[in-house]
Amino acid sequence: MTSPNYIILYVDNPTVSTHFYAHLLEKSPVHNSPTFSLFALDSGLKFGLWAKHEVEPATGMSGGGSELVFSVADRDAVDAMHADWARRGIIIAQTPTVMDFGYTFTAVDPDGHRLRVCSLSAA
């Protein structure tokens, strides 16, 4: 059986999104072109940003229909990332809160893709 190992987000402006994620991930892309950027994450996951007007076959999808989740060790790590992201000017959609699955906050990228940080052990 195969396992997914690659995520692609469709973005309006790959240059803006690449800059955003390079700072967020503290990592440079391994491939960068006017229509596509690729990050190789430490976990082995590949993370791509593709110009939505260049996607084949064409799509009408836009950001916000799913979440990219960053799992962290504990409540303090959630609070630290929230403070860091807020300081960087990243839009925070939900401040840290306890939900039935853990302690979490939600932010959004320049295209409205949701970014959730959570600690499952902190419920």
Measured CA to CA, the distance from residue 119 to residue 86 in angstroms comes to: 18
Mind listing the pLDDT tens digit for each residue in 3-22? 889 999 999 999 999 999 99
Q: Is residue 44, in this structure, part of any structural domain at all? A: yes
Q: Is residue 1, in this structure, part of any structural domain at all? A: no
- pLDDT-derived band at 1, boundaries 50, 70, 90: low
73 and 116 in a single domain? The answer is: yes
What is the chain's mean pLDDT, rounded? 92
10 and 36 in a single domain? The answer is: yes
Q: Are 36 and 82 in contact (CB under 8 A)?
A: no
Q: Is residue 29, in this structure, part of any structural domain at all? A: yes
Quick one: CA dihedral 71, 72, 74, 78, positive or negative? negative
pTM of the predicted structure, to 2 decimals: 0.87
Domain that holds residue 73: 67-122
Domains contained in the chain, number: 2
